[in-house]
Structure 1
Amino acid sequence: MRPNLMPLSRRAVDPRHLMVMQQANRREQLQAVTAGLEKARTILESARPATWVFTGDTVVQGAGQTGAGRTFSEHFGDHLRNKLRRLLDVVVNTGVQNSRADNFLKTLDWRVTRFAPEVVFLMLGSADAAAGPTGRTRFREVLNEIVDALAKTKTALILQTPPTARPDHWTDPTDLPAYVAIVREVADARDVAGIDHWSLFKDRLAQAETEPDWWSSGGQLPNVRGHVELTRQVVEALSR
């Protein structure tokens, strides 16, 4: 990790932001995806190498947000190798700029299943939100189809909400908060683990004495420091 970036640390995570619910129905079929965080923690405690896939849309890809810096999936790879000494673990980033849920489902094999990953981190919603209120039902349907598809692979799924925009953009006309809510609702209803970056960003901002420099010049997407914060939140969730 670059010396000018804050090192990752382990801190307690507010359980409100770990979107894990317990249900009795369909437990056998969804055992792998529902155990996302637990399975990932078990993997980190074992000596067996693992493959981790980070996938989704623009935030995951990095898409010019970080300049020559690293994305949060790359920082996570550094954490695995340098902090945890998991030298044989493989981290794959298949995020695609402006990718919507429909496109992700169509390309699921190319972007996820061909790697046979032990763990998949999935962040969608930022691009889908451009469809506004009329696109919400379809987004929910496709997100459920994605959960169904991954349930057949025995891959541990961890859903991620997108992070917030810079505070001066919170009043901008956007339907993203509604799509973030759908991600939370699907995670709860389907018993899928998740990390609520949206709420974590807001909580950290409320606790900060000065506004962190986490966003690119447009104020909508995380910059290199924002990606470090995303990584910190992933590490904290897996360290709980």
Structure 2
Amino acid sequence: MTGKLYEYEHIKFLSQNPNPHTVLVDVREPEEFQEINVPTSINVAYRSYPDGLKMDAETFFNIFKTKKPSCEKELILLCARGRRASEALKVALEAGYTNVSLYPGSLKDWTYRERGGSTAPLAMSTAGSKPYNFQDVKKLVQHPEQDKVLVDVREPKEVESYKMPTSINLPFQTAPSALSLSDDEFEEQFQFPKPKSNQELIFFCAKGMRAKAAEELARSYGFKNTGIYEGSINDWLAHGGDKIKSE
């Protein structure tokens, strides 16, 4: 199981009540970690050691001064704003971890909430991505463009209740590494062609959080032309999007 997105309340609970089956993994650099960190988390610096989670247990211990988590444990990845955690998720999956999740808000959200904020500002870095609103997406639904792909990252059961016309479904929670598959593997799994790296992928979900995480991960797989419909399906339906058809 992969792709869970945790919020502050769950991370706070784990920091106060450690779970032997779950490990909080902070992938920032040591100097960032020393300045502030989530209690009980371990530090596996992604920039300095991008393949850290692939190391054997002895090498891992010698470098990070902590025992390497077993592949049976759930890893919850966090960093400063979410980007490095999303990139490290790919490495964790390649290393054999099958239960890997994210704290999208990461330390930006943690410090904000610890200081008394009730709602964190934009959780994940969306540098390089283009913001889309209802009118932008409406135009794409009514008049599809070959170089733009609407990507719904909700789960199939959610899509059953409403599917946006012309969109494709790449469920982030159950298939976070979909865009890392080869063209043949992708088509075999999803029954439609894999988007091209030169196409613009516009991500949306129910409320926007999964879309941001999926966009971050897509960029780490080489899809640099990306967009996010932050309002996502909730905003789409609130504006009557379910009445809009593709022409």
Query: TM exceeds 0.5?
Result: no
- Structure in which a larger fraction of residues adopt strand: 2
- Structure in which a larger fraction of residues adopt helix: 1
Of structures 1 and 2, the larger Rg is shown by 2
Give the TM-score normalised by structure 1: 0.30
Bigger RCO of structures 1 and 2 (CA < 8 A, at least 6 apart) = 1
